[in-house]
């Protein structure tokens, strides 16, 4: 049996004051024919990263609507997760070797996890490349033949052909594919049903619910940050695609003109990302002995509340991604009323409307210039932050995510 993840109870009605009666009524109408439907989400880790955060809310809200929803996590060794990290990067286009040994490791653990997958379900949602072989290794006799959905959270528009050619035969067995953007669907990949569902945040999670400024300042100060001086923050995994080294370079340009500025790089070390430790070391070395650069992660005691505090206190939020699936941290920061300077990559332009909710940048210098602009124009920063919060309320809250999944389940049921 795969590991089941416990989730806290949540109620859809609690979101009524935020999203309004019409949204709640639409969700309940979509869910009515799906009462008692058996749903399971399968992914690689119960913590760290946006997928786990989404499932912590999505699964209990499905239960609140009367569905029998579960969340299960696959098992794997360090060797397996090293391979799947390479798969993640290769599918996003990185030039990496993909050896026969690596393929054998991926197949072996997918076959093992498929053998441990138990239960009868109406809908099985498999997230990302790590467990993508479950459908193949389950064969056609699994339970009462559930509808299988592959949910891709990364950009496969320009994949490394060695990785893409390996994965496509496994992916085409799924009944439906779900992508963040239509442009992310890799070359030649087709599904009977394709759904475009951008990720979302939970406005009532500990990270995103409103926090009193004094409390937020007190939390941030515990990590050695001077809350009376300007603060730039990027929240992300320590990953080359997130470009924390470029953020440090942009900060150094800014510091020449604003000597009192500080930088916080706040991350989460996930169990399925062994490469993260290596890149964390590179980031620390790049920062050198600048004591105004604060590099923090969950092993320092930085959890969801602390991340929310940093986002609340910061003067400027940066997400300088080179490649990006979506970038939930952008929506989180916008929800705090902060404009975001984001890399012009992936799903970030869906959230950062250039000049309205933040700025899109393509270089270190452009990033530094926009940071300086926001530091020097606090009234404009506040205006853009307010526009960003409303943009998230209308488009990127978990209630919209739930609605989109229910609509997909209905399509699959009625097909």
Mean pLDDT per segment of 10 residues, for the chain of length 415 residues?
96 98 98 97 88 95 98 96 94 95 98 95 97 92 74 95 98 97 95 96 96 97 98 93 96 98 89 74 95 90 94 98 90 97 95 98 98 98 98 98 98 90
- Selection from 164, 51, 67, 84 nearest residue 122 by Cα: 67
What does the pLDDT read at residue 325?
Answer: 84
Angstrom distances, CA of residue 329 to CA of 179, 201, 244, 335: 18, 9, 14, 10
What does the pLDDT read at residue 143?
Answer: 44
What's the distance, Cα to Cα, between the start and end of the chain in Å? 31
Phi, psi dihedrals of residue 359, rounded to the nearest 5°? -135, 145
Domains along the sequence of the chain with CATH: 3-200+398-414 (3.40.50.2000), 213-395 (3.40.50.2000)
8 Å CB contact between 148 and 173: yes
Q: Residue 181 region, left (φ>0) first, then alpha (ψ -120 to 50), else beta?
A: beta
Q: Which residues contact 379 (CB under 8 A, 6 or more apart)?
A: none
8 Å CB contact between 131 and 157: no
Q: For tokens 């997230």, what's the residue? A: 127
| pLDDT tens per residue across span 187-202 | 999 999 999 999 999 9
What does the pLDDT read at residue 299?
Answer: 74
**Calpha distance 65→31 (Å, rounded):** 7
Most distant pair of Cα atoms in the chain: their distance: 66
What does the pLDDT read at residue 274?
Answer: 66
What does the pLDDT read at residue 270?
Answer: 65
8 Å CB contact between 352 and 342: yes
What does the pLDDT read at residue 335?
Answer: 98
8 Å CB contact between 171 and 151: no
What does the pLDDT read at residue 235?
Answer: 96
């Amino acid at each position: 049996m795969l590991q089941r993840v416990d989730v806290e109870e949540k109620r859809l009605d609690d979101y009524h004051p935020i999203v309004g009666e019409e949204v709640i009524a639409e969700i309940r109408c979509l869910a009515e024919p799906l009462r008692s439907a058996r749903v399971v989400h399968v992914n690689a880790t119960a913590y760290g990263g946006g997928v786990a955060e989404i499932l912590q809310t999505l699964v209990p809200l499905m239960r609140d609507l009367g569905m029998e929803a579960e969340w299960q996590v696959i098992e794997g060794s360090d060797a397996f997760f090293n391979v799947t990290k390479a798969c993640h990067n290769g599918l996003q286009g990185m030039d990496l070797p993909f050896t026969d040994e690596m393929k054998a490791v991926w197949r072996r653990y997918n076959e093992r996890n498929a053998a441990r997958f138990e239960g009868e379900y109406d809908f099985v949602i498999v997230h990302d490349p790590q467990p993508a072989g479950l459908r193949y290794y389950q064969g056609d006799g699994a339970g009462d033949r559930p509808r299988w959905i592959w949910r891709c959270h990364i950009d496969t528009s320009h994949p490394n052909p060695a990785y893409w050619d390996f994965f496509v035969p496994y992916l085409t067995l799924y009944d439906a594919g779900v992508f963040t953007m239509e442009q992310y669907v890799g070359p030649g990949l087709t599904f009977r049903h394709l759904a475009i569902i951008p990720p979302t945040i939970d406005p009532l999670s500990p990270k995103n619910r409103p926090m009193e400024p004094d409390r937020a300042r007190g939390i941030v100060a515990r990590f050695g940050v001077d809350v009376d001086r300007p603060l730039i923050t990027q929240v992300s995994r320590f990953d080359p695609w997130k470009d924390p080294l470029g953020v440090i370079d942009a900060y150094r340009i800014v510091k020449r003109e604003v000597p009192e500025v500080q930088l916080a790089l706040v991350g989460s070390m996930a169990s399925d990302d062994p490469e993260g430790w290596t890149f964390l070391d590179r980031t620390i070395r790049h920062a050198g002995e600048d004591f105004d650069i604060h590099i923090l992660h969950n092993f320092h005691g930085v959890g969801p509340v602390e991340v929310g505090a940093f986002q609340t206190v910061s003067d400027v939020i940066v997400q300088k991604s080179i490649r990006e699936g979506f970038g939930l941290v952008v929506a989180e920061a916008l929800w705090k009323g902060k404009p975001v300077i984001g890399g012009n990559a992936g799903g970030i332009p869906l959230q950062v409307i250039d000049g309205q909710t933040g700025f899109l940048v393509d270089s270190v210098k452009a990033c530094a210039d926009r940071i300086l602009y926001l530091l020097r124009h606090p009234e404009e920063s506040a205006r853009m932050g307010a526009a960003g919060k409303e943009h998230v309320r209308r488009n990127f809250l978990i209630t919209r995510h739930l609605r989109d999944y229910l609509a997909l389940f209905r399509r699959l049921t009625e097909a």
